[in-house]
């Protein structure tokens, strides 16, 4: 080989030795799951009670937000209101709803719930547990149950059967279920079985109270009056959209509302609100807010007074007007408007006769510890009585008790919650003592 070739080979070898090896290929990036956008942007708790009566046309839907942030949706309007609710509710919530109350199985009170559950989520559902309901209502309950919504019973605590279920929504706030009281406390009104057993609620905070009458029948009101139920309220959500029949004068004189909300639609062809109902309210000096006129009605309580803010005000009224109503222990006086300190009456030093707060009887149940109730089994059509008795799971005798390996309570086998336990999680005990030795406690729904 020539000297020139040797020298060229040497240059090539030296050049190759000086070059660094190519860098390794960059690692394949690990895919990062996109963060789900925040679904809710409601404000932080402000120490006040907020209630929103939504404008849902001919129907009912109201949101309760307690001073500590607990949330309860009372009815969900008709199906036509679903779009409005799925857009409005996230503006007021920071998490899924703690509780939904369906007052009774009418579509104008439950039509929007399935869409609401999909959009904001629902932890628990309280419904009247009537023996007969329209098929679409049963289908709704079946759907909600399949999505993990827990069903709760409006029945009073077995240890205090004559007292209402008292649900605590944080410090100083209670939601009392005045009616119905299943399984025995129901009214038989053949022409209006659903209305007669509509859930009636009383929400109290300090010296203020709101009464939610659902679609209660006049017979419902008479029953509550006969029982001497504490119903006095600063504000009344008028029953049945203001239709004539309920909101009797005897009922209104006991409730003594300073203000009332009527949820109805413009040009309502169902005679709601009825002229007779409006006349009775007017005759007692009650300030009426109608959603077909005022739009959404917002109510705020600091425990001493209620401040009502309608979405729309009458022509000529300043747009920053707020209506203030004193607490229950203050003597009746003209409505005061925000910013007008002289218009608000001084508080009474002594409560007038009959204006005391709620009777403190019965046991208070925290919102996260409501008595359980499984989704009702398929029921017969409206107008007929449900079959008596219940069916036990195959292979279970009435002398045994069952529990879930994932729970802390035990049930009788015929309990509807027991029937929901998956076979893989089902535990069987031959006696109460055996269940107790396994650190199980009796379920509050069936009280085994």
Q: Which pLDDT value is given to residue 36?
A: 45
Q: 414 and 325: one domain?
A: no
CA–chain centroid gap for 280, Å, is 29
Nearest to 125 by CA among 175, 82, 73, 169: 73
∠ CA 331-333-337 to the nearest 5 degrees? 130
Q: 362 and 426: one domain?
A: no
Q: 200 and 110: one domain?
A: yes
Is 291 part of a structural domain of the chain? yes
In this structure, what CATH number is given to the domain that contains residue 175?
Answer: 3.60.15.10
Task: Please check whether residue 164 is in contact with residue 229, taking contact to mean a CB–CB distance below 8 angstroms.
Answer: yes
Q: 194 and 308: one domain?
A: yes
Q: Which residues contact 212 (CB under 8 A, 6 or more apart)?
A: 62, 74, 103, 200, 201, 202, 203, 237
**Which residue pairs, CB below 8 angstroms and at least 24 apart, start in 270-274?**
270/58, 270/241, 270/243, 271/243, 271/244, 272/58, 272/240, 272/241, 272/242, 272/243, 273/238, 273/241, 273/242, 273/243, 274/242, 274/243, 274/244
Global pTM value? 0.71
Nearest to 299 by CA among 392, 256, 236: 236
Total length of the chain: 448
Query: What's the burial of 224, exposed, middle or buried (CB within 10 Å: 0-12/13-18/19+)?
Result: buried
Nearest to 209 by CA among 233, 239, 230: 233
- Return the exposure string of 392-430: e unless at least 16 CB atoms fall within 10 Å of the residue's CB, then b: beeebeeebbbbbeebebbbbbbbbbbbebeeeeebebe
Q: 113 and 189: one domain?
A: yes
Phi first, then psi, for residue 63 (nearest 5°) are -110, 130
Divide the 448 residues of the chain into consecutive groups of 10 and give the mean pLDDT of each group.
52 52 60 51 90 96 97 98 97 96 96 97 94 89 94 86 90 95 85 92 98 96 95 98 95 98 86 93 97 97 97 92 94 48 31 34 62 49 32 38 82 68 79 81 69
Q: 298 and 432: one domain?
A: no
Phi first, then psi, for residue 62 (nearest 5°) are -140, 140
Is 39 part of a structural domain of the chain? no
β-pair type (62-65, 49-53): antiparallel
Q: CA–CA separation, 20 vs 336, rounded Å? A: 86
Q: In the sheet where 97-101 sits, what is the strand order?
A: 150-152, 122-126, 97-101, 71-74, 62-65, 49-53, 297-301, 305-310, 323-326, 336-337
Is 349 part of a structural domain of the chain? no
Is 309 part of a structural domain of the chain? yes
Q: 331 and 407: one domain?
A: no
Q: 196 and 283: one domain?
A: yes
β-pair type (71-74, 122-126): unpaired
Q: Which residues contact 136 (CB under 8 A, 6 or more apart)?
A: 107
Q: 113 and 53: one domain?
A: yes
Is 96 part of a structural domain of the chain? yes
Q: 257 and 311: one domain?
A: yes
Alpha helices, DSSP H, located in 295-431: 416-419
Q: 236 and 317: one domain?
A: yes
Is 448 part of a structural domain of the chain? no
Is 8 part of a structural domain of the chain? no
Is 81 part of a structural domain of the chain? yes
Q: Which residues contact 101 (CB under 8 A, 6 or more apart)?
A: 72, 73, 74, 75, 125, 126, 127, 199, 201
CB atoms within 10 A of CB 3: 7
Q: Which pLDDT value is given to residue 369?
A: 65
| Counted domains in the chain | 2
Q: 415 and 274: one domain?
A: no
CB atoms within 10 A of CB 77: 28
Task: Please check whether residue 111 is in contact with residue 84, taking contact to mean a CB–CB distance below 8 angstroms.
Answer: no
Place of tokens 């109460």: 432
Phi first, then psi, for residue 286 (nearest 5°) are -85, 130
Query: Domain range spanning residue 415?
Result: 401-442
Q: Which pLDDT value is given to residue 336?
A: 44
């Amino acid at each position: 080989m020539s000297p020139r070739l040797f020298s060229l080979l040497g240059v090539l070898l030296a050049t190759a030795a000086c070059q660094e090896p190519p860098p390794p290929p960059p690692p394949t990036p690990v895919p990062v799951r996109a963060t789900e956008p925040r679904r809710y942007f409601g404000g932080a708790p402000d120490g006040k009670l907020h209630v929103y009566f939504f404008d849902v046309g001919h129907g009912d839907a109201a949101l309760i937000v307690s001073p500590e942030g607990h949330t309860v949706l009372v009815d969900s309007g008709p199906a036509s209101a679903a779009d409005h609710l799925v857009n409005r509710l996230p503006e007021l919530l920071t998490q899924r709803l703690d509780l939904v109350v369906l007052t009774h199985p009418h579509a104008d009170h439950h039509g929007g719930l399935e869409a609401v559950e999909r959009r904001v989520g629902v932890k628990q559902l309280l419904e009247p547990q009537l023996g007969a309901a329209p098929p679409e209502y049963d289908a709704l309950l079946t759907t909600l149950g399949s999505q993990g919504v827990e069903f709760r019973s409006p029945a009073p605590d077995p240890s205090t059967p004559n007292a209402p279920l008292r649900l605590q929504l944080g410090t100083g706030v209670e939601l009392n279920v005045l009616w119905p009281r299943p399984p025995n406390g129901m009214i038989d009104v053949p022409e209006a079985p659903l209305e007669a057993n509509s859930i009636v609620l009383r929400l109290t905070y300090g010296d203020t109270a709101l009464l939610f009458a659902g679609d209660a029948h006049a017979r419902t009101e008479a029953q509550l009056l006969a029982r001497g139920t504490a119903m006095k309220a600063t504000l009344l959500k008028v029953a049945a959209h203001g239709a004539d029949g309920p909101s009797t004068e005897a009922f209104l004189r006991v409730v003594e509302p300073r203000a009332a909300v009527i949820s109805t639609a413009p040009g309502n062809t169902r005679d709601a609100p009825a002229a007779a109902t409006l006349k009775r309210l007017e005759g007692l000096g009650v300030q009426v807010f109608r959603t077909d006129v005022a739009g959404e009605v917002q109510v705020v309580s600091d425990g001493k007074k209620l401040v009502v803010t309608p979405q729309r005000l009458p022509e000529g009224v300043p747009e920053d007007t707020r209506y203030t109503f004193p607490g229950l222990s203050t003597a009746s006086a003209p409505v005061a408007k925000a910013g007008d300190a002289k218009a608000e009456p001084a508080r009474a030093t002594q409560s007038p006769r009959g204006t005391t707060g709620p009777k403190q009887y019965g046991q208070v149940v925290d919102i996260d510890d409501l008595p359980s109730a499984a989704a009702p089994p398929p029921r017969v059509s409206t107008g007929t009585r449900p079959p008596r008795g219940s069916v036990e799971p195959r292979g279970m005798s009435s002398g045994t008790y069952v529990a879930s390996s994932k729970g802390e309570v035990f049930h009788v086998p015929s309990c509807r919650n027991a029937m929901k336990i998956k076979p893989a999680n089902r535990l069987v005990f031959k006696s109460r003592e055996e269940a107790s030795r396994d650190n199980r406690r009796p379920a509050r729904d069936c009280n085994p």
